[in-house]
Chain A
Amino acid sequence: MSDNGAALLEVEDVHTFYGTIEAVKGISITVHEGEVVTLIGANGAGKSTTLRSIQGINRPKTGRIVFKGQDIVGRRPHEIVKMGISQSPEGRRLFSRMSVRENLEMGAFQRSDKAGIQQDIDRVYELFPRLQERRMQKAGTLSGGEQQMCAIGRALMARPKLLMLDEPSLGLAPILVERIFEIVREINHQGTAILLVEQNALIALAVAKRGYVLETGRVVLHDTAQALRQNEQVRKAYLGEV
C-alpha cells in the first residue's frame, strides 16, 4: 500500500475517562487509506479505550477524531458504523444466543442492500469455511478460534473503510493465530484499512506497516513497524528478548 495515501483517520490529542479515571491521556494516531496500523502495549495501556473512543462508545472529553475529513466526536456509534468504521471487539462479544449467520447479519445492520449483504456473507464464508459449516449453530457453542473468525467476519459485514481488530490473537493456538493474520492480510489487500490492537507485538509488527506503542494511556513511541522491530526498548518490553 502506498506510503503517502491520504489520512483516513486522524486522532488528535484525545482524552477519555471512565468516571474520574483517565484511561486515555492525550493519544494522537493516524491511519492512512489502505494501511495496517497497530497499537501495541500492555494491559491497561488504553488500547481498547482508544478503539471505543473512535467508535463513539466512550465519548472523549477533549480532542478531535477526524474520519474521512469529518470530526466524528459526539456522533452516535451507529452513525460512525454507517460512515465506515467497524470493529471486532475485545473478548469477541458475539451474540451468543444467535446463530452464526444471524451474527453476520447483525454486522450488516446499517445496510439495506439485500443482494450485497448475501454476497458479503458468502465472502466471509470463503475467508472462513468453518463458519459456513457452522452457520446454523448458536455462536455461544463455537470454539474460541471459530468465535474469533465469526467476530472478524461480523465486523467485515459493515463493509468498513476502517476495520478495527481488538486482540484477534487472544487465547488462540499459535497455528490459528497464523491463520487469522493471513486473513487479516488478505482483507487488507482487498483495500480495507486496519487498526490492529495487539499484545502479541511480534505478529502485529509483522503484519502492520506502522505501529504505536502505548503505555498508561499515552503514546510513548511511534514509527514504522520495521523500525519498531529493531528498537531496543520494544524488543525488551514487548518482543520478549532479554
Chain B
Amino acid sequence: MTAESGTARRPMLAALPRFSQQINRVLTWVVVGLFVVWVVGNFINAPKQFVSVFLLGVTLGSIYALVALGYTLVYGIIELINFAHGDVFMWGSMIAVTVSAHWLGLDGSQGWYVTAPLIFVTLLACIAFCGTLNVAIERLAYRPLRNAPKLAPLITAIGMSFILQNAGALVYGFIEQPVPDIFPTKPLFRIGGIAYTQKSLLIVLITIPVLLALVYLVRSTRQGKAMRAVAQDMDASRMMGIDVDRTIAFTFALGGALAGAAGLLFVMYQTSTRYDLGFQLGLFAFTAAVLGGIGNLTGAAFGALLIGLIQAFNEGLSWHTPGSSWTQSVIFSILILVLVFRPQGLLGEAVSDRA
C-alpha cells in the first residue's frame, strides 16, 4: 500500500471505527446479557438439574483446559496455531487405552492400590509419548519453516493433523476404541436425579494441581522465563544467551505432555475414543484458547471452563436449550463471535510491544 492511498482512504476509515466500536459494545452486552438471562432462567427453572449439569461442565472444562493450554503455549511462543495438537491429544487417548487396558490389563475389577499406581504408569507413558511426538513434529515440520511466511507452517500444521489422524486410523481402525471403567464410578451424591461420580471429581482434582504447576513453571522458573523471553523477542533472546531452539522444543514437549494427560483423563471419563477425536475436541479446545485470549495461560483455562460449561448446559438443561445436536454449532458460533468482536479474547489485552 502506498502512502498516498493510505491518506486518501483515511477520512472514510476514520469514521468507521467509532461507529463500529459502539455497535461492538452494544452487541457484546446484548450477547452477554442473553447468555446470563438464559443461564439464570435455567437455574430458576430447575435448580437441582442446573447444579449437577454445572458440575459436569466443570469436569469437561478441566479436560479441555489441558488441551487448550497446549494451543496457547505454542501460539504464545511462535505464533503458530498448531492444528496437529488435537490429534496429539487423540494419540494420548489411544496410548492410554493400549497401556492401561491391553498391556496392564486394568478393567476396573482391581482394588485402588493396584489401579492407582498402574494408572500413574499409564499417565507417564501418555505424557512421554505425546511430549516426544510433539517435539518430533516441531523438529521435522515446523523448525525448517521458522523463517518462512506464517502461512507455510500453518498449512503444514493442518497437513500434520491429517497425517496423525490417518496414522491413528491405520493403527487403531475406524471404529471406537472402548476401555472399561477403570476410574471409580461410585456416585458421591445425587442432585436432581443425576449422580456426581468419583471419577468426575478425580478428573478435576488431577487437573487443578497440573494447572498450578504449569503457571508456576512459566512465571517463576528459569525455563519459564526463557519461554516468555523467546515469545517476546527471539533475536534478543539469542543475544542474552538463550538457546531458542531448545526453548521452543521444551514448549512443544510441555504442550504434548499436557495433551497426553488430557488424553488419558478424557478416555477414562468417556470410556471410548476414536481416530477423529482430535478434530472435534481439538477445535473445542482451540475455541477455548481463543475465547480466553490466545497466548494467555489463565485465559486458556478460563475459556476452557466456559466452553465445558456451555457444552454441558446445552446438552443437559431444558429451558430454551438447543440440545446436544447443536453443541458444535453453538461452540463455533462463539468462536466466530469472539474473533469478530473481541479477537484478543476475554482476558487478553492488546499489548503494545514497544521497547
Contact = CB atoms under 8 A, between A and B. Distances in A.
A95 B228 contact: yes
A67 B242 CA distance: 20
Contacts of B229: 95, 98, 106
B228 A89 contact: no
Interface stretch (B45-53, B106-114, B232-240): B232-240
Nearest to B236: A93
- Residue of B232, B352, B353 with most partner-chain A CB within 10 A: B232
Contact of B354 (A56, A140, A158): A140
Contacts of B226: 106, 109
Given A93-B355, A97-B228, A97-B351, A78 B242 contact: yes
Nearest to A52: B235
B232 A96 contact: yes
Nearest to A98: B228
- Residue of B229, B237, B353, B355 with most partner-chain A CB within 10 A: B355
B225 A105 contact: yes
Interface stretch (A38-46, A80-88, A122-130, A203-211): A80-88
A110 interface: yes
Report the interface size class on chain A: 20 to 34
A12 interface: no
A158 B240 CA distance: 8
A154 B236 CA distance: 11
A57 B228 contact: no
Contacts of B228: 95, 97-98
Contacts of B193: none
Contacts of A92: 355
Report the interface size class on chain B: 20 to 34
A102 to B, nearest CB: 7
A78 B355 contact: no
B351 to A, nearest CB: 6
B241 interface: yes
A49 interface: no
Contacts of B232: 95-98
Contact of B243 (A76, A89, A107): A76
Contact of A78 (B233, B236, B243, B353): B243
Given A102-B225, A140-B352, A81 B241 contact: yes
B233 A77 contact: no
Interface in A18-46: none
Given A96-B353, A106-B225, A140-B352, A86 B233 contact: no
Contacts of A147: 355
Contact of A81 (B222, B239, B351, B355): B239
Interface string B202-239: 00000000000000000000100110110011011111
Interface of A: 55-57, 76-78, 81-82, 86-87, 89, 92-98, 102, 105-107, 109-110, 139-140, 142, 147, 154-155, 158
Which 3 interchain pairs have the tightest Cβ spacing? A81-B241, A96-B355, A110-B241
Given A96-B352, A105-B225, A158-B241, 18 more contacts: A55-B239, A76-B243, A78-B242, A86-B239, A92-B355, A93-B235, A93-B236, A93-B239, A95-B236, A97-B228, A97-B232, A106-B225, A107-B240, A109-B240, A109-B241, A140-B353, A147-B355, A155-B239
